Structure 1
Amino acid sequence: MTKLTLGSYPHLLGFEQLERLLERTAKSENGGYPPFNIEQTSDHSYRITLAVAGFREEDLSITVEDRQLVIRGRQVDDEGDGRVFLHRGIAARQFQRVFVLADGVEVGEARMENGLLHVDLDRAVPEPVVQTIRIRKG
């Protein structure tokens, strides 16, 4: 059986990069931690909200790498501070969440509020372009 790809459709020219993007996105799912929401805040803007209770601002990093928004969290294990736990149900945990950004989507501000990390995204609206191609005689 032949695998259908975007390149196998004759009317979709130059979409090979989109196919690679879809494959990369499918591989980036990482088990659901931390939970997150994505909301559309206007016609051209979005907000990603991650539940990062227990993380401080200095435990988190936000980068854009090759059109991917990468949010990482790393908590320092506090076992060496002399505390004795009778039960430890809240573990120091690390995570990495990756969101693939479309062309024209830029990362705005990020802020922490009540254990939630909000990252705002803005999409630039391209001007519509109409191009007339002149036909030359043979």
Structure 2
Amino acid sequence: MSNMTLSPLFRRGIGFDRLNDFFDYAMQSDTPNYPPYNIEKRGDNAYRIVVAAAGFDQEELAIHLENRVLSITAQPKVQDQDQVEFLHKGIARRAFKLSLRLDEYIEVQQADYQNGLLSIDLQRIIPEEKLPRQIPIGRQLEQIETQA
């Protein structure tokens, strides 16, 4: 019996029940492992994505948000490596694209790049009409809404 880990399936969505995307990612065998990244929950409605982008300049990184998909890309500048002979090359510094699906109420607050780590802060902002509310028993809904 083979040991199959499902952890890559659960780290690709932020701000909503991960089961919703389970089947989308279950059939993908090419879950990216470069660059390394963390997804942190920093409070009830606050999240942070931290991407290890060592060796990249800030100008080589780009963040795009389109249709609730946050894409982080890096394209290294071409360097003159003809005169360099690597005895060991452990720093990948290769182009990448990391895409993460966001819940409809997750908004990007800010991004920062420091010490080779790209940090993107996210916040869940739920509209007032979507928040849970208590419904009193014995009163008509119309009366409740006019009093609010």
Please say whether Structure 1 and Structure 2 have the same fold, judged by a TM-score greater than 0.5: yes
Quote the Cα distance in structure 2 between the aligned partners of 1:53 and 1:87: 19
Query: Who is 1:12 aligned against?
Result: none
Aligned CA RMSD, in angstroms, stands at 2.8
Query: Who is 1:60 aligned against?
Result: 61
Using the size of structure 1 for normalisation, the TM-score is: 0.68
Query: Who is 2:113 aligned against?
Result: 112
Q: Against the structure 1 CA distance between its residues 78 and 100, is the aligned structure 2 distance closer, same or farther, given a 3 Å change threshold?
A: same
Q: CA deviation at 1:30?
A: 3.6
Question: Structure 2: where are the runs of 5+ without partners?
Answer: 1-18, 143-148
Q: Do residues 43 (structure 1) and 44 (structure 2) align? A: yes
Q: CA deviation at 1:106?
A: 0.5
Q: CA deviation at 1:85?
A: 2.1
Query: Who is 1:85 aligned against?
Result: 85
Contact kept in structure 1, 2:54 and 2:93, CA below 8 Å: no
Query: Who is 1:3 aligned against?
Result: none
Contact kept in structure 1, 2:56 and 2:93, CA below 8 Å: no
Q: CA deviation at 1:43?
A: 1.1
Q: CA deviation at 1:77?
A: 2.9
Q: 1:11-53 CA distances to partner (integer Å, 9 max, x unpaired)?
A: xxxxxxx96x555455496430011111111211100001100
Q: How many residues are paired up?
A: 114
Contact kept in structure 2, 1:30 and 1:97, CA below 8 Å: no
Q: Against the structure 1 CA distance between its residues 69 and 53, is the aligned structure 2 distance closer, same or farther, given a 3 Å change threshold?
A: same
Contact kept in structure 1, 2:109 and 2:122, CA below 8 Å: yes
Contact kept in structure 2, 1:25 and 1:100, CA below 8 Å: no
